[in-house]
Structure 1
């Protein structure tokens, strides 16, 4: 795609010149006809009386006729020349504007992929420690998810409801996912809300560095980077809606299923509600969340086709894209 844009840039940099020779034959033809007629008259009068009797008046007449004719044709040529110059300037300006647009578009694409690379580096930098074996990168997201699932099993119904209300989790959130969202919000915020979690029984003092108490420090920059990547693609004026969707698909291809689940958990709380809005805009969760059974139930909350989701995204300043059908 980048190569095609460069080729197009080369094309627009060479504007087509107008045909500035079309009027020249008319001018030359008119002058030639005038001289031919003059020559024929001269030959017709040759030998028939004096020049003053015949050719003098005719010469005066042709002089009076040709002078304004030539002046008129010169004026026409000047006007035509100015018109050609103006048209050439217009096309040159259009070509330069198109070239500037393509260069700006290429720079925007490069910025997007730079942001995408920074996000990938952030994912690779995760270091999650537990009692068994330290893990890093994408493997750490799976270990974090398992720790969340383990902690969620110890949450009581009262604990869950207190946390769901506090973090403004959607009322239509499926019951099977509520414990996981509650435990995630509690530990990600670093502010346990319920009596049981406040007791610290999920945060053993001997294992503080590997506990869920450090969830935000491990994942916060990744969530923010994911949001910024999508926000940049959405707000950049140089891309069509289809191109914006294509850029979001690069991010989708980079994310693992565990990353999708963790991003959904933060997006369904007041902590990351804008992340949910922009995920709806790009239909980020289409055909995802299959590997974690309870997370699969979250997909309808991110579906772009749902009018309620579109309204939510619009309320937060994001209008759902309509990228259309890609050409075969």
Structure 2
């Protein structure tokens, strides 16, 4: 039983470690996830990690692919690989100026990247990274947006978000705006996700006067709060001052000249003149998400939901660099969930 627990623990560790990647820059290697970068000081002198599954062997001047498993085998990419143009597309796929690679195997030799995006095409098909998009007109494709988390492409008849076919009312005028917001001539849309599938939710706001504000959006008369999670309800509400209403640091918080809001609900006692979200820095780089603490002159708030820490002292409350997601004031230290974890 003990051996089984050890094996399970190792598998969990492998899964966790598999989510990170490292970018090689000739002489310096950086450990990356989507938010943070750290310079690596202890790295095997014979290799550099390019991705969770791609490695550069300095001794042979070759790149190899190795799956993160207990019985993985090293597979070298062929000498035909062009090191100067080698670029990772996803965890198990990459490209250079001549080929696209899946694991350690050439899967395309006749391909072309579309508009410096995550989309590629050959003479017959269009691909998102290495996944074929079905029933798309190769001769009329246009990339509307391309990023790690979501990609949008259209042809003359249809629109695809990642690999999902979506149908706005007017394809010709459809435009991606920013941060999951889109619109056409007659409607505003928010892009939502259900597992791997994407779909458009119509938002009852004026497309002419619409302004995307992260998780919020507004026109001249009202505002809306939503999220890309498929079953999260979209909430319409009336801020106290629609003209000055804006999102704060692209979080669940928003404010106008009169009030502060979190997840559309007004924080009745919050002071908009002194309200601020406490920003955290790691290695001199600001971490934009998640942001767990905020305060004004009279109150301290934690989590994405604006819960008040009634025992915290706003005058001395600050983030504590000693612990990753902790904070402190003149009396206490606080954990990620806002609980007192020690007395100063």
TM-score (norm 2): 0.19
Larger radius of gyration: 1
Q: What TM-score does the superposition give when structure 1 sets the normalisation length?
A: 0.20
Larger % of helix: which? 1
